[in-house]
Structure 1
Amino acid sequence: MPLLNLRDVAAATSLRPGVLYRSAQPHALTSEDTRLVTGLRLIADLRGDDERRPGDWAAVLGGAVRHATLGAGSTSSPAQLATLPADLDLGDLYAGLLRHRAAWFAGVIAEIADGLPALVHCAAGKDRTGMVVALILDLLDVDHEAIVRDYALTAPALPDILLMLGLSGADGPAAVPGALLDAPESAMRTFLATLDELGGAETFLLTNGLTADRIERLRAALLP
């Protein structure tokens, strides 16, 4: 199966192409999918330990590509999702994660800065991936409307993603808040508004452990 929700972050922005990619988690990849990692140095996996399957990247990892599993501070396992309120507001969830998982975000972005060209993914490639990518884009002074557009590009892929994650069908969505089954622009707008309240990505990330040299590394690699 092709890697779902795969795209170059440059597609919705004016950044340099071929440097930063995002996607959903791997699923039934074969050795024929080695083209997915051509030119990459890092695959940054944002899933929690309870979400990963042993060897789910094994068919395509090779050469100098490093698989960094970075999900210790965040998870969206079925058990975790079932604990969330049914009337969950996705923007509020994003804002809460930004405030309470600040060091995790800074650590993830440090790994990405050290590993470009990189692919970043979580389960759907929407929530954790969307927030990490949004932080990087804000750090690079990308217009907020472009950040929202990049986030919303996940929406057309969601039916296939939900099917792959087992969240589609009679028994799937009932245990998951409906907000998690969509990629509304309003959620990313709330995230970005909260980020502004915290001083913007550069201030936020420097305060929480990202170093200035890594910020410069991101800018040198991604800005045209």
Structure 2
Amino acid sequence: MQQTLTLDQAEPNLAPVNLRDLGGLPVDGGVTRSGVLLRSDDVSVMPAAFAQQMIDDGVRSVIDLRSPEEALLTGRGPLTLPGVNYHHLALTASVSVPENISRELMSASATPELVGAWYADLVESQARQLAVGVTLVAMNDGATVFHCAAGKDRTGVFAAVVLSLLGAATETISADYAATASRLPRLYPRLRAILGQLIPETQLTAGQDQGAMMGAHAASMDAMQRILVERHGSVAEPIRRAGLSDSVIALLRGRLVDAHD
């Protein structure tokens, strides 16, 4: 049986490097409010002092988008104090992409169009999980941090859904996704330290041209949005069909949007 990796076993100073606030982004009728919703790479092995600072800054809910095997490996981590709620909403069954397309996606010839198509499929297949996650954000009294391993793919999809529901432009959503690109040189060494038991070394080599899947290209998120609009009329429509109500969307706007004067 796979054992959980304790913080004592993890390498020191593994503070998140792709943690950022979703505040200040232009959306329909205003801008997103700062200090309410944060996206991140893996928070499960952060130093205890870093976790305490996040709690002191108002984090009251963690949405974990990692696969069951990832969550088993490192556990929930130090964001465990009373009053901090933890929700595991796995968007993939394993740490890698689905087996039937993994070789193509992970190849050096993988294109942003292919990555975007996988993201669109993820929105469709995990629409119920995404609807639950959006509901949790809307109903949380404090700040929420959502994360996967790198804070890029599954986290990027969740962020895109939330921003789409708030009426963000395609360019805004893609730019938020692409902001990860500048963090990749620091991100991949961190992933090697955390997920070295689960992911081949060749998939986590910073600076090596491994195709669009290992990067963070705005064109990948552009493709996801275009595909979902073509199939459903909007990025958010699959989430609405999965049960997300207008009342919850209104709560989400109330939580996340500072209206223009």
| TM-score normalized by the length of structure 1 | 0.86
2:43 matched to 1:26? yes
Structure with larger Rg: 2
Q: For structure 2, which runs of at least 5 residues remain unmatched after alignment?
A: 1-13
- What is the count of residue pairs matched by the alignment? 222
2:251 aligns with 217
SS in 2 for 1:52: helix
1:207 aligns with 241
State how far apart, in whole Å, the 2-side matches of 1:135 and 1:145 are: 14
1:7 aligns with 20
SS in 2 for 1:22: strand
How far did residue 173 of structure 1 move? 2.1
How far did residue 74 of structure 1 move? 1.4
State how far apart, in whole Å, the 1-side matches of 2:234 and 2:95 are: 30
2:136 matched to 1:103? no
How far did residue 97 of structure 1 move? 1.7
Query: Given that residues 191 and 204 in structure 2 are in contact (C-alpha distance below 8 angstroms), is that contact kept between their aligned partners in structure 1?
Result: no
Give 1:136's match in structure 2, choosing from 162, 165, 183: 162
How far did residue 204 of structure 1 move? 3.0
**CA distance 1:95–1:76, change in 2 (3 Å):** same
Query: Given that residues 152 and 180 in structure 2 are in contact (C-alpha distance below 8 angstroms), is that contact kept between their aligned partners in structure 1?
Result: yes
How far did residue 143 of structure 1 move? 1.7
How far did residue 205 of structure 1 move? 2.0
Q: For structure 1, which runs of at least 5 residues remain unmatched after alignment?
A: none
1:200 maps to a residue whose letter is S
2:211 aligns with 178
**CA distance 1:145–1:79, change in 2 (3 Å):** closer
1:3 maps to a residue whose letter is P
**CA distance 1:135–1:186, change in 2 (3 Å):** same
2:92 matched to 1:74? yes
Give 1:117's match in structure 2, choosing from 143, 153, 156: 143
| TM-score normalized by the length of structure 2 | 0.75
State how far apart, in whole Å, the 1-side matches of 2:244 and 2:188 are: 33
Query: Given that residues 43 and 77 in structure 2 are in contact (C-alpha distance below 8 angstroms), is that contact kept between their aligned partners in structure 1?
Result: no
